[in-house]
Chain A
Amino acid sequence: MADRALAFARTNRWIWPALGILLLWAILTAITARFSLHSLSGVAISASFLLLPALGQMLVVTTGKGNIDLSIPSMVTLSAYLTVMTSTGSTAGFLLTLAIVLAATALVGMLNALLVLVLRIPAMIATLAMGYILATATLIVNAQIGMFAKPALLGFLSTGRIAGLPMMCVIAVIATGAAGLLLARTAYGRKLFAVGQSAEAARLAGIPVARVIASTFVASAMLSGLSGLLLAGYAGGAFLEMGTPYLLQSVGAVVLGGTLIAGGNATALGTLLGGMLLVMIVTTMQIAGLPPGAQDILQGVVIIAVLSVAGTRIGRR
């Protein structure tokens, strides 16, 4: 029985963050009266905003070779600014805004892929540098930003509720489901996992390796863009440090969720739960009145600790 449970946990690694969430919730409920179901709903909304970039990060990390997207925070911020700048308040205008944000971020994702695949710059450096360039762009538009005519549809998507459930959470669950299906049930998912396990074997098996890797950078950029757009709707505007938390947290959600940091395997459900656990830890610390510095410390420690315990070795070798 114990063996079977352990085997289940080994193949379904999302079980660990799920257990973590339950444990933390139980402890919180036991020791503090202030933590309620209502707080949990706040956690869920924050985690939903984190989920989109985290799914993108998950795809990039799954391609292996130490690939990572460090331009996510700048992408989120820049998209929020684009949203505020292009919004006219009308629904048709919102669709245009959506198209602009998606097109711009797709372009940046392609540039990232170009740097990594054609110029062979390590992903971490390429995306870090790209992040700085985007941050500069944001800084420049920051001076010209005007009033935010928030479209009603954006308001509904980011802050509305449907049958009592926050719309954001519905979006997050749909995104997780879609990503989960993509990974587990389509040829794309198989190819992505193959590339992450061994790019050379994948190439010789006939998989278009470069196209698969490029697609993950584009997806990561677009998902971050979407998150920035929704975040602008939620916050009712854009500010410079908006995307900053997503640098560490997108990586943290992936790591905590049980996706292999060395690539080759990923779980969308795990990323959802991992993000939720991470946000819950941060919220707990806020409730406990810990300073922001302490929150950063603990997030860093949790990520390193989980990585150290889980290890990254592929198979038995």
Chain B
Amino acid sequence: MNASMEIDTIRPPAARPAPDALLSLAGVAKTYGSTRAAQAIDLDVATGEVVGLVGANGAGKSTLMRIVCGVTEPDTGTMAFGGRPVDLVAFSPRAARDAGIRIVWQELSLSPNLSVAENFYVEQPQFARLSPLWLADYHRLARDSIERIFPGARIPTSRLVADLTLAERQMVEIARAASDPRLKLLILDEPTSSLGAERSAQLRQFVREQAGKGVAVVFISHKLAEVLDISDRVVAMRNGRLVWQKPAGETSIGDLVEAMGGAEAGDRSTRPALDAAKAGRPVRVRLSGDLVSTGGPIELRAGEIVGLAGLEGSGQRNLLQRLFAKPRPGEVERDGEVRYVSGDRQGEGVFPLWSVLENIGIGRVARLAALTPVKAADQRPLAASLAKRLALDESRFDAGILDLSGGNQQKVLVARALTDEAEIILLDDPTRGVDIAAKRDFYRLVRETAAAGRLVIWHSTEDLEFLECDRVLVFARGEIVAELGGDAISEDRIVAASFQQPAAGRTAQAAKRAGAIGPFLLRAIPFLSLILVFAAMSWMNPLVASSFGIELLLAPAVTLVLIALAQMFVVGGSEIDLGIGSFTGLVNVISATLLVTSPLLGFAALLAGLAGYCLIAVLIHARAIPAIVVTLGASFIWAGFGQTLQPSPGGSSPQWLTALFTWSIPGIPTPLALILIAAAAAFLIDRSPAGTVLRAFGSSPLALKRGGWSPLRYGVMRYAIACLFAMAAGLYVTAANNASDINAGGSFTLLGIAAVVIGGCQLLGGFIAPLGVVAGAVTLSLIGALLASLGVSTNYNAAVQGALLIVILGLQAALVARGRRHG
């Protein structure tokens, strides 16, 4: 099926022996399923050389660079670096880093929940000192590195990356990679996609300086003028092969476009110009208002192929999504049914568990009433007729969808969109990573579809594909800034229009700043509510504010503080532990029974509990099982052990344990001191180097893995920390109550989660705040006391706590959604 056509083209010069080559690849190939992402690649990069690497999307540039960085292991081929052969099996991201290979990823790999300085640490841990002030070095490193490359950027290094603009993030990303003193090879993958002209010029200046110092640079970009400006030599890739290379001085943008594979698209001569308006075809889509800055509304008619062009992320996808949503009067109006074909096949196209036939059939089934009978066989005739038109092999209908090549998967998605007679077909960059043969089939199919009277709206990131269109709408900063038709469609014009600045470009920026109040409010909630609740209680009963009153009130809060902190570290990894409450109960039982009668056995049991927690972490990470279900199962194991050890409440606290929690400093209530100690411990762990990495895993596990950090080791560390906090909670309960009750622990699970949420943490994304969690936990346990003093039955406690949790989470969701809309 995947008869990828052999392209006769200028072959790259055979790998010549290059004694001064820093990086040398020979015969490198990598296949994913039936997609050949890289094949027979020979490439040398010399010390101090700047190589421009160009190619269409999916040409294999990123795969090749992943191989060089040790992220992807090639199927065949050899690699040498610095004159020494590299063992590609043992080659890892960390080994690449140690060798001096650094990459700036196209999809930015910063952790949004870390500050700029902390992001520098995650990338360059070797400078960390053993000191509470270790991060100061990284503030300096970050500031210096950013200013060295981008003078005047002035990015505050203590700010969270999530609060930076896209351009600022890109600058941080570049500076972070380039700050490595061991740097020998710097790979920049689309480094200027979000940068303005001035910053881009600064970066190129920096690249030239580095090259002068002997650093080799690979510069990957779609901005061909920049590539020609910066490179010594330009290399073009197409369909996983290196097809062309030349010194930058001897070539032009036109050459590059041709080398990248432009010639395949745009077979315009065979296509008669179509004047849909004159043909009197019905209007299917009408665009107007602020969206259109070309003057007057734009009407799209049946039978047209309309391209959506512009720099990536300028509003093309947004328009497709608005067209796909329910039609309503406004800027974007449509008349007729729509179908959507995405080029992100893995993310929003295929259903991986299903066969090809099922993947096609769902297009019709999606619109049937719920109880309509559906049989697989019913789909076959219709799918078969579609398959014929799409040049899709009918004999593979029963194969799993993932067994097909990218191009064939895309055909399946198109077939799905064509199963019924929808009037409008939306294409979202459908040929991404598709081989040439499949692309040609695809272009033919689009023409046929339009000829059959449908309106095709086609967003592409490959400008050459617009030559297939009747009309092209060019986007810039979310607006349509140009409309090209017929012979006026050319790559030059599209590119020129893409860089136009619509007048209203600034408003988005201003709105973003206004939205920043949300996160601040979230962080302040726990402290404000703590003050509020405490004030209310002292107003009702002045004794509360006395040292004795505080001692009495805070004693029950200590447990919840410890449990909430334990849960917080798990939430920091975007997971949740449903077993923490029961585990606390188990530790309570062990310490009130075994630890009294036979201390040795007691300690062994506690250690076994810790080992159990670590085992859970291993299972979750090694087998990719959801933490909820595993910890739910574990909660029953903990409770079961506790039940077996001591079926009904009882036991007593070992004397040393009581002593451990009942010392006192004159003037400070003991529970307050304990809470402060717990808060300090959690804060220090969270802000330590290891805690920073733990948080980073919560938001960007893939980037961390690429950076050479072990997910398993940190997963185990995360659960071990949580376990130790929960253990402290269990021991405290024993000391405070001088007894144990296995059933008392369970309810703490929900309370702990509630405290974490009230404390300003987000359940996903690794945003955690130790001090907020402590305040949240204290507030929650005070609310219990407050309700009691108001005469509310304790029966209501659970409901109040559950409702509070829901309200705060809802508030959080609303604020985050607002922030996202503005950002």
Instruction: Please list the residues of chain A having a beta carbon within 8 angstroms of any beta carbon in chain B.
Output: 66, 68, 115, 119-122, 124-126, 128-133, 135-137, 139-140, 182, 185-191, 193-194, 197-198, 200-207, 215, 247-248, 251-252, 255, 260-262, 264-265, 291-301, 303-304, 307-308, 311-317
Q: Are B799 and A133 touching (Cβ within 8 A)?
A: yes
Determine how close the nearest CB of chain B comes to the CB of A157; give it in whole angstroms.
Answer: 25
- What 9 A-B pairs are tightest by C-beta distance, nearest first? A293-B643, A296-B640, A136-B799, A297-B640, A293-B644, A132-B802, A300-B636, A129-B802, A300-B637
Contact of A308 among B374, B375, B623, B647 (CB under 8 A): B623
Which A residues touch B639, using CB under 8 A?
A: 293, 296
Q: Are A190 and B637 touching (Cβ within 8 A)?
A: no
Contact of B763 among A122, A194, A203 (CB under 8 A): A122
Q: Are B371 and A188 touching (Cβ within 8 A)?
A: yes
Q: Are A315 and B813 touching (Cβ within 8 A)?
A: no
Q: Are B643 and A186 touching (Cβ within 8 A)?
A: no
Please name the residue on chain A nearest to B416 by beta carbon: A205
Contacts A140-B795, A308-B625: A197 and B347 contacting too (C-beta < 8 A)? no
Which A residues touch B283, using CB under 8 A?
A: none
* A53 to B261 CA separation, bound complex (whole angstroms): 58
Please name the residue on chain B nearest to A307 by beta carbon: B625
Grouping DSSP codes into helix (H, G, I), strand (E, B) and loop, the B interface class, with mixed when no group exceeds half, is helix
Which B residues touch A265, using CB under 8 A?
A: 353
Contact of B402 among A215, A293, A316 (CB under 8 A): A316
Q: Are B640 and A190 touching (Cβ within 8 A)?
A: no
Contact of A307 among B369, B629, B809 (CB under 8 A): B629
* A-B residue pair count with CB separations less than 8 angstroms: 230
Q: Are B640 and A136 touching (Cβ within 8 A)?
A: no
Determine how close the nearest CB of chain B comes to the CB of A78; give it in whole angstroms.
Answer: 12
Contact of A188 among B367, B370, B643 (CB under 8 A): B370
Contact of B630 among A194, A291, A304 (CB under 8 A): A304
* A185 to B629 CA separation, bound complex (whole angstroms): 29
* A264 to B639 CA separation, bound complex (whole angstroms): 32
Determine how close the nearest CB of chain B comes to the CB of A193; give it in whole angstroms.
Answer: 7
Q: Are B626 and A187 touching (Cβ within 8 A)?
A: no
Binds A, one of B97-105, B183-191, B358-366, B533-541: B358-366
Residue B619 is within 8 A (CB to CB) of chain A in the complex: yes
Which A residues touch B797, using CB under 8 A?
A: 136
Contact of A119 among B349, B354, B368, B809 (CB under 8 A): B809
* A312 to B400 CA separation, bound complex (whole angstroms): 18
* A241 to B710 CA separation, bound complex (whole angstroms): 43
Q: Are A307 and B623 touching (Cβ within 8 A)?
A: yes
Q: Are B806 and A115 touching (Cβ within 8 A)?
A: yes
* A186 to B366 CA separation, bound complex (whole angstroms): 11
Residue B634 is within 8 A (CB to CB) of chain A in the complex: yes
Which A residues touch B340, using CB under 8 A?
A: 204-206
Residue B578 is within 8 A (CB to CB) of chain A in the complex: yes
Contact of B619 among A185, A297, A308 (CB under 8 A): A308
27 A-B residue contacts at CB 8 Å? A68-B628, A115-B810, A119-B809, A132-B801, A139-B798, A140-B795, A140-B796, A185-B373, A194-B366, A197-B351, A197-B353, A198-B350, A200-B347, A200-B348, A201-B351, A204-B342, A204-B348, A215-B370, A261-B625, A293-B641, A293-B645, A297-B636, A301-B637, A304-B634, A311-B625, A314-B353, A317-B352
* A133 to B632 CA separation, bound complex (whole angstroms): 20
**What 1/0 flags go to B306-349 for Cβ under 8 Å of A?**
00000000000000000010000000000000011010001111
Determine how close the nearest CB of chain B comes to the CB of A313; give it in whole angstroms.
Answer: 6
Which B residues touch A131, using CB under 8 A?
A: 802
Which B residues touch A205, using CB under 8 A?
A: 340, 362-363, 366, 416
Determine how close the nearest CB of chain A comes to the CB of B808; give it in whole angstroms.
Answer: 10
Q: Are B576 and A204 touching (Cβ within 8 A)?
A: no
Q: Are B796 and A136 touching (Cβ within 8 A)?
A: yes
Contacts A185-B373, A201-B351: A251 and B632 contacting too (C-beta < 8 A)? yes
Contact of B802 among A133, A251, A291 (CB under 8 A): A133
* A303 to B616 CA separation, bound complex (whole angstroms): 13
Determine how close the nearest CB of chain B comes to the CB of A298; give it in whole angstroms.
Answer: 8
Determine how close the nearest CB of chain A comes to the CB of B91; give it in whole angstroms.
Answer: 22
Known: A121-B810, A296-B640. 16 other contacts (CB 8 A): A115-B810, A121-B806, A140-B795, A187-B370, A191-B362, A191-B370, A198-B351, A201-B342, A206-B339, A251-B633, A293-B639, A297-B641, A300-B634, A304-B616, A311-B624, A316-B402
* A187 to B373 CA separation, bound complex (whole angstroms): 6
Determine how close the nearest CB of chain A comes to the CB of B406; give it in whole angstroms.
Answer: 13
* A207 to B340 CA separation, bound complex (whole angstroms): 12
Which B residues touch A307, using CB under 8 A?
A: 619, 623, 625, 629-630, 633
Residue B248 is within 8 A (CB to CB) of chain A in the complex: no
Q: Are A315 and B348 touching (Cβ within 8 A)?
A: no
Which B residues touch A189, using CB under 8 A?
A: 374
Please name the residue on chain A nearest to B402 by beta carbon: A315
Please name the residue on chain B nearest to A297 by beta carbon: B640
**What 1/0 flags go to B643-672 for Cβ under 8 Å of A?**
111010000000000000000000000000
